[in-house]
Amino acid sequence: MQKLLYSLFAIVLLFSCKTVKDVSLPIATPTDQDLTEETVDVSTIKGHIYYLASDEMAGRNTPSPELNIAARYLATSMMRYGVKPVPGLEEYFQPVPMKKITPPQSGTISFAAEQMDYKKDFILLKGADIDTEAEVLFLNRGTAEDFAGTDVTGKIVVVIAGYEGQDNPQQWFFSGDEKQKLAKEKGATALIELYSSVQLPWNFLTGYFTRPQTVVDDSKGEAFPYIWLNAANPDAIAKLKAGNGLKAQLKVEGITEEVLKTYNVVGMVEGTDPVLKNEYIIYSAHYDHVGIGRADAKGDTIYNGARDNAVGSVTVLSAAENLAKYPTKRSAIFIFFTGEEKGLLGSAYYADNPAIPLDKVVYCFNSDNGGYNDTSRATIIGLTRTGAQPLIEKACMAFGLDAAEDAAPEEGLFDRSDNVNFAKKGVPAPTFSLGFTAFDDEINKYYHQPGDEPATLDYAYLTKFFKAYVYSCRLIGNTNTSVFWNEGDKYYDAGKGLYGEMKE
């Protein structure tokens, strides 16, 4: 009987094992959200931020030895993650030629018994020493239509600063670049913009623009004089506007230049889809800050730049770690820009000298920050302007955050970060930022202040924020839907021109 029981037990056991072996249990395929959770953790986030925003990095000024150390840290971090250098670049570095310009020692603009003096009445935004006399021509706002059909060869072009409807002087820097380019291409001798603003008083401008400036070393454009003239003297301004063959003597002297070395840090991960891997997405942030400056009430002189922009840099590092381990269908380019605080210099240089042609880049997902006052949201500057909006909203929601559009449009933030240099070329390019509802005291407490240090950050919030960004990257990298500009956006036509077709 005992043998029979053992035999029956063996038969049942054999049958049970065979049954289990033959049954194919479904294995769940990990989602993009699952893969995001695999790599993003608070310890890694803190380690990166505490290094990049440490006192030893001395505020990562452009240029500085500490900024180059930060560049090496970003490059070796990508190397460790398995991100590859981009073919054509040495290791992970794109040299960005820059120079430090010491402003003029003196200068005058003289016309019709009027004399305007450097600093007091005008500042030189771009240009070299000059001593010339030429006819003055007033062209209203200096739009392409204002220039059309007008011979400006050899003349000093005078225009009103900004375009119609632009009330924020910070936007005038970018419109001024467009006017300067037009004036130079059409053969003008110089461009003078008439400046009048209560938002940025003249004494603020002179304090800033009469200090040494760091610029991209572009011998093709920097020598052309671009001037802001204080419009406080109505009689003198009326004479300039009237023209009527008026000639002006423009003299500026004492400018010196120093050549600098600084770098964009660039890496890439090839996509997995045989077709879509030929489309690239840029994930970007600037890694510089403002260095050492005036002491705060505690005597601290180091502007650590934890929020601006160690957080943004580590956001992109987190995406690099994740996509190197779990690539998306589309290829990824990770770029850390130098010189953002000096005028978006590194991104401007890259956009003009891309390692991968921009018509192969379908999206740029930038990350930049001034600070936060709402930990329930991520603020995406330009969220509603591209087809990626539902993907970004989904990613934020997955980690308990609301995806919010720019809450301070009056600040012109979309056009004040590195993303705009890609947008102007036609590449859809929003910026993923920490949550804010206004530029209030909580933001200004840390924005470009020595107190912006790693220990002041909310890392529980940052972990959700980083996961939302990485998940967004994965969704955009894998989507089959369009992430192009929404029709009617001011960069929509530039996008059509870049890609040669409507991205719908």
Closest CA to 160 of 233, 241, 222, 249: 241
- Picking from 257, 275, 293, the residue at the C-terminal end of a domain is 257
Domain count, the chain: 2
Give the pLDDT band of residue 206 (cuts 50, 70, 90).
Answer: confident
The pLDDT assigned to 222 comes to 57
Length of the chain counted residue by residue: 504
Per-residue pLDDT reduced to its tens digit, 11-61 = 444 444 444 444 555 677 899 999 999 999 999 999 999 999 999 999 999
Closest CA to 292 of 73, 66, 445: 66
Give the pLDDT band of residue 322 (cuts 50, 70, 90).
Answer: very high
Cis peptide before 63 (omega within 30 of 0): yes
CATH number at residue 54: 3.40.630.10
Per-residue pLDDT reduced to its tens digit, 260-297 = 999 999 999 999 999 999 999 999 999 999 999 999 99
Which residues in 133-164 are b (16+ Cβ under 10 Å) and which e? ebebbbbebbbeebbeeeebeebbbbbbbbbe
Residues 129 and 273 in one domain: no
d(C-alpha 104, C-alpha 95), whole Å: 28
d(C-alpha 503, C-alpha 488), whole Å: 13
* Distances 440 to 294, 380, 444 between C-alpha atoms, Å: 22, 18, 6
The pLDDT assigned to 8 comes to 44
128 in a structural domain: yes
Structure tokens at 172: 């005038």
Q: Between the CA atoms of 465, 349, 405 and 390, what dihedral angle is there, to the nearest 10 degrees?
A: -70
Residues 210 and 280 in one domain: no
Residues 44 and 154 in one domain: no
d(C-alpha 192, C-alpha 224), whole Å: 11
Structure tokens at 218: 């572009």
DSSP 118: B
The pLDDT assigned to 501 comes to 62
78 in a structural domain: yes
Residues 488 and 378 in one domain: yes
The pLDDT assigned to 205 comes to 85
Name residue 308's amino acid: D
Give the burial class of 43: count Cβ atoms within 10 A of its Cβ; 0-12 exposed, 13-18 middle, 19 or more buried.
Answer: exposed
- Picking from 223, 257, 291, the residue at the C-terminal end of a domain is 257
d(C-alpha 50, C-alpha 241), whole Å: 55
Closest CA to 386 of 421, 427, 415, 345: 427
Residues 245 and 384 in one domain: no
The pLDDT assigned to 173 comes to 75
17 in a structural domain: no
Residues 47 and 162 in one domain: no
Instruction: Look up the domain containing 209 and give its range.
Output: 100-257
Neighbours of 224 (CB within 10 A): 19
1 in a structural domain: no
Residues β-bridged to residue 226: 126, 191
d(C-alpha 109, C-alpha 451), whole Å: 43
Do the beta carbons of residue 356 and residue 429 sit within 8 Å? no
Structure tokens at 125: 């935004």
Tokens 């050899």 sit on residue:
154
Report the predicted TM-score, pTM, of the whole model to 2 decimal places.
0.83
Biggest CA pair distance of the chain: 128
Do the beta carbons of residue 459 and residue 305 sit within 8 Å? no
Residues 317 and 352 in one domain: yes
Residues 347 and 219 in one domain: no
Residues 417 and 487 in one domain: yes
Residues β-bridged to residue 37: none
d(C-alpha 415, C-alpha 429), whole Å: 11
> Three-class SS of residue 477?
helix
52 in a structural domain: yes
Residues 494 and 350 in one domain: yes
374 in a structural domain: yes
CATH number at residue 104: 3.50.30.30
Tokens 């623009």 sit on residue:
209
The pLDDT assigned to 503 comes to 52
- Picking from 257, 291, 312, the residue at the C-terminal end of a domain is 257
5 in a structural domain: no
Per-residue pLDDT reduced to its tens digit, 410-461 = 888 999 999 999 999 999 999 999 999 998 999 999 999 999 999 999 999 9
Mean pLDDT of 209-215: 86
d(C-alpha 104, C-alpha 255), whole Å: 5
The pLDDT assigned to 10 comes to 45
Q: Residue 448 phi/psi, 5° resolution?
A: 55, 45
The pLDDT assigned to 204 comes to 85
Residues 327 and 367 in one domain: yes
End-to-end CA distance of the chain: 78
Do the beta carbons of residue 264 and residue 335 sit within 8 Å? yes
Beta-carbon contacts of residue 306 (< 8 Å; ≥ 6 apart): 49, 53, 446, 452, 453, 454, 456, 457
Residues β-bridged to residue 116: 109
d(C-alpha 341, C-alpha 414), whole Å: 15
25 in a structural domain: no
Residues 126 and 230 in one domain: yes
Per-residue pLDDT reduced to its tens digit, 95-122 = 999 999 898 999 999 999 999 999 999 9
* Distances 448 to 209, 294, 357, 473 between C-alpha atoms, Å: 18, 11, 34, 28
Per-residue pLDDT reduced to its tens digit, 359-376 = 999 999 999 999 999 999
